[in-house]
């Protein structure tokens, strides 16, 4: 048998290890990824603008955090119903509709701000509306991914989506700061509206096979069916528990970062921004690594290690008072956190049958978006106020370490996925 020349093997290896291969090979996903990354940049710009505007309108720290919480509450309340809808209807059409509604919300916020009519009640109301739209859009968008790239490239696509999120987290706030300083807060909302318009245009350029409608069941039986499947399938049940634990007990370290920066590390706003940048750089690195090798590794084993490393990094962050050490720790934490999120998402979608995909992605968004911002931030904030942020972060990390040991020790089949 004739041996393949070395240079041909090298080219094939480079192609396999190219983290952007999925973008090159799947036109629909390429359009989707560009639009989503632009939209996420706009979202970060708007979040920055909303925070500053809420502070200017009220000078009340509680109301500033309430604007963020109001946006997350609908995700908690409506995610399961939204998952049923995502499994019933054409996911691409649903995502298009919700993105168009979010475009209208951003335009409205821009108009009331630029005309001087904005109040804290406008901010709260529009944040709540955005949360309602997001609660239906997130599970449909997550479940749509497999239709864009197929099952084989799903892990790489999810990793690239995570890289877009981290790229937006680095670039978005930097643009927002410049816009606020030079043009005013209202133009943050205008930029977000433009980003949504780009997404909507891109979504109409995507062409998929015609949607086949499923037979609807009466009452709430479809939701119960999804919950029953999740609870009766050991791998899915354990993954959901682990995702929820990391979201509730691990994610709040980002919300506590301003306090850590000022009170523990003795730095100001510039240092705080640098710490957030470290998280973003680490996350982007982890996402690109996974996009390059995700299809050829034991994802269950990497999930176990990345979750444990994430928890250990949080413990180290809680113990240090040196800025530069904290920056390096956050680089590791950002990388491990993104690996955890992308791997758990990919494993869930690989295991779950297509008929349950929307409902399971609804559970995923409930944990990652809803519970992390509402329950996680509330509990961590309360502990930080009583005992200090380092205890809130280290305590959450300890719970994650226990959950990782339990999950992968009692269900070793997860390591073979």
Q: What pLDDT sits at residue 64? A: 67
Mean pLDDT of 116-142: 90
Rounded distance between C-alpha atoms, residue 208 and residue 149, angstroms: 11
Cβ atoms 403, 240 nearer than 8 A: no
Rounded distance between C-alpha atoms, residue 352 and residue 90, angstroms: 18
Residue 11 scores a pLDDT above 70: no
Paired tokens of 417: 């996925």
Give how far Cα 370 sits from Cα of 179, 242, 376, Å: 29, 15, 9
In the chain, the number of structural domains is 1
Q: In the chain, pLDDT over 90 holds for what percent of residues?
A: 28
Q: How confident is the model at residue 205 (pLDDT cuts 50, 70, 90)?
A: very high
Q: Is 3 inside any structural domain? A: no
C-alpha torsion 130→132→134→138, nearest 10: 180
Mean pLDDT of 153-157: 80
Q: Is 26 inside any structural domain? A: yes
Q: How confident is the model at residue 153 (pLDDT cuts 50, 70, 90)?
A: confident
More confident residue, 11 or 242: 242
Burial of 1 (0-12, 13-18, 19+ CB in 10 A): exposed
Rounded distance between C-alpha atoms, residue 379 and residue 201, angstroms: 40
Residue 57 scores a pLDDT above 80: yes
Q: How confident is the model at residue 402 (pLDDT cuts 50, 70, 90)?
A: very high
Burial of 141 (0-12, 13-18, 19+ CB in 10 A): buried
φ, ψ of residue 53 in degrees (nearest 5): -65, -45
353: which residues sit within 8 A by CB, 6+ positions away? none
**Residues 332-390: tens digit of each pLDDT:** 999 999 898 888 888 888 888 878 888 888 888 888 877 887 778 778 877 887 888 89
Rounded distance between C-alpha atoms, residue 265 and residue 18, angstroms: 38
Q: For 46-55, 235-244, 248-257, which range has the lowest pLDDT when averaged over its residues?
A: 46-55
Cβ atoms 91, 358 nearer than 8 A: yes
Q: For 30-44, 237-251, 380-394, 402-416, which range has the lowest pLDDT when averaged over its residues?
A: 402-416
Cβ atoms 271, 164 nearer than 8 A: no
Give how far Cα 204 sits from Cα of 38, 294, 356, Å: 16, 29, 25
Nearest one of 344, 399, 391, 395 to 367, comparing CA atoms: 344
**Chain-centre distance for alpha carbon 415:** 24
Q: Is 246 inside any structural domain? A: yes
Q: Is 4 inside any structural domain? A: no
Domain coverage including residue 385: 17-205+221-416
pTM across the whole model? 0.77
Cβ atoms 79, 362 nearer than 8 A: yes
Residue 9 scores a pLDDT above 50: no
Q: Is 5 inside any structural domain? A: no
Give how far Cα 202 sits from Cα of 29, 33, 99, 198, 347, Å: 10, 9, 11, 6, 27
Nearest one of 416, 371, 381, 380 to 399, comparing CA atoms: 380
Q: What pLDDT sits at residue 65? A: 64
**Residues 70-127: tens digit of each pLDDT:** 888 888 888 888 888 888 888 899 999 999 999 999 999 999 999 999 999 999 999 8
Q: How confident is the model at residue 12 (pLDDT cuts 50, 70, 90)?
A: very low
Q: Is 1 inside any structural domain? A: no
Rounded distance between C-alpha atoms, residue 71 and residue 51, angstroms: 13
Paired tokens of 87: 């499994």
Q: Is 363 inside any structural domain? A: yes
Q: Is 117 inside any structural domain? A: yes
Q: What pLDDT sits at residue 218? A: 52
Residue 311 scores a pLDDT above 80: yes
**Residues 260-300: tens digit of each pLDDT:** 888 899 887 667 777 878 888 888 888 888 877 766 677 88
CB atoms within 10 A of CB 136: 26
Rounded distance between C-alpha atoms, residue 123 and residue 46, angstroms: 11
- Mean of the per-residue pLDDT values for the chain? 83
Q: How confident is the model at residue 23 (pLDDT cuts 50, 70, 90)?
A: confident
Query: Residue 160 is part of a domain; what is its CATH number?
Result: 1.20.1250.20
Residue 415 scores a pLDDT above 80: no
Q: What pLDDT sits at residue 1? A: 45
């Amino acid at each position: 048998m004739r041996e393949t020349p070395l240079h041909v093997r090298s080219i094939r290896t480079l192609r396999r290890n190219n983290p952007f291969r999925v973008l090159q090979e799947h036109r629909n996903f390429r359009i989707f990824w560009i639009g989503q990354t632009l939209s996420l940049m706009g979202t970060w710009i708007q979040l920055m603008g909303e925070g500053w505007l809420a502070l200017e309108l009220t000078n009340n720290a509680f109301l500033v955090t309430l604007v963020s919480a109001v946006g997350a509450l609908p995700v908690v309340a409506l995610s399961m119903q939204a998952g049923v809808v995502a499994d019933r209807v054409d996911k691409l059409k649903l995502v298009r509709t919700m993105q168009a509604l979010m475009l209208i919300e951003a335009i409205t916020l821009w108009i009331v701000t630029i005309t001087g009519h904005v109040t804290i009640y406008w901010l709260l109301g529009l944040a709540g509306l955005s949360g309602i739209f997001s609660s239906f859009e997130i599970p449909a968008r997550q479940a749509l991914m497999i239709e864009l790239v197929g099952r084989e490239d799903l892990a790489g696509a999810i990793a690239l989506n995570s890289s877009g999120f981290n790229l937006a987290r680095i670039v978005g706030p930097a643009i927002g700061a410049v816009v606020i300083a030079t043009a005013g807060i209202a133009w943050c909302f205008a930029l977000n509206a433009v980003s949504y318009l780009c997404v909507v245009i891109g979504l109409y350029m995507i062409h998929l096979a015609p949607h086949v409608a499923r037979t609807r069941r009466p009452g709430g039986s479809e939701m119960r069916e999804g919950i029953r499947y999740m609870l009766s399938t050991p791998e899915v049940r354990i993954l959901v528990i682990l995702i929820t634990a990391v979201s509730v007990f691990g994610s709040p370290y980002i919300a506590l970062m301003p306090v850590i920066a000022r009170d523990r590390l003795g730095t100001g706003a510039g240092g705080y921004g640098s710490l957030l940048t470290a998280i973003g750089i680490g996350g982007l690195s982890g996402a690109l690594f996974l996009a390059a090798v995700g299809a050829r590794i034991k994802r269950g084993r990497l999930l176990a290690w990345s979750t444990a490393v994430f928890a250990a990094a949080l413990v180290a962050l809680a113990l240090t008072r040196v800025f530069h050490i904290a920056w390096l720790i956050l680089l590791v934490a950002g990388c491990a956190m993104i690996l955890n999120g992308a791997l758990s998402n990919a494993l869930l979608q690989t295991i779950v049958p297509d008929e349950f995909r929307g409902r399971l992605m609804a559970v995923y968004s409930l944990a990652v978006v809803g519970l992390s911002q509402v329950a996680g931030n509330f509990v961590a904030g309360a502990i930080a106020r009583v005992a200090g942020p380092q205890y809130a972060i280290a305590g959450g990390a300890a719970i994650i370490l226990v959950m990782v040991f339990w999950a992968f020790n009692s269900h070793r089949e997860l390591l073979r996925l």
